[in-house]
Amino acid sequence: MKIALFPGSFDPVTKAHVDILKRSVSLFDKVVIGVGLNSNKPAFLDPETRKKMLEAVFAYEPKVEVSLYEGLTVEFCKTIGALYMIRGIRTVSDFEYEKAIAQMNHALVPEIESIFIVSKPGYSSISSTIVRDILRNNGDISQFIPKEALEFL
């Protein structure tokens, strides 16, 4: 069984995340969306809300499951039996950052491959950070967030 992990904070999930997952799900038997709990980064939404939001967004997709995890992402991959890690790339700087992480992950656990999926041009400017800023300032984020996620915000 080919299992992939799509890790992130998903704080909140955006249409860009949805696009990457939709484009990758056909490549694997199962995709686990891993909501990473990063103690260095203060969260906007609590982990359970993010998990429920992702489950609502991907309720139609039987090959997707959502899990919370802490610690090294490659260790979580081993726990769930994932040999692939999906990463979305929006910009050149994303690529440089993700390449460095992929190389470190490969040094730690060589059997786990990082799969980079380049975002569609219309999604390259959407990030959770920008969406959180709009939310904090009472702006309309509906064009950046899947409709199933809006009730959680």
Q: Please tell me which residue in 15, 50, 87, 90 is annotated as part of the active site.
A: 90
Least Cα distance to 33 among 111, 146, 143, 121 occurs for 146
- Is there a catalytic annotation at residue 26? no
Tokens representing 2 are 């080919």
- Is there a catalytic annotation at residue 106? no
- Is there a catalytic annotation at residue 17? yes
Q: Please tell me which residue in 9, 15, 17, 87 is annotated as part of the active site.
A: 17
Q: Measured between alpha carbons, how far is residue 8 from residues 1, 138, 139, 148 in Å?
A: 23, 24, 24, 19
Lookup result for tokens 């995890």: 69
Q: Please tell me which residue in 2, 22, 41, 78 is annotated as part of the active site.
A: 41
Phi and psi at residue 7, in whole multiples of 5°?
Answer: -90, 155
**Nearest-angstrom CA–CA distance, 4 and 80:** 9
Q: Do 141 and 153 form a contact (C-beta atoms < 8 A)? A: yes
Residues with active-site annotation:
17, 41, 90, 128
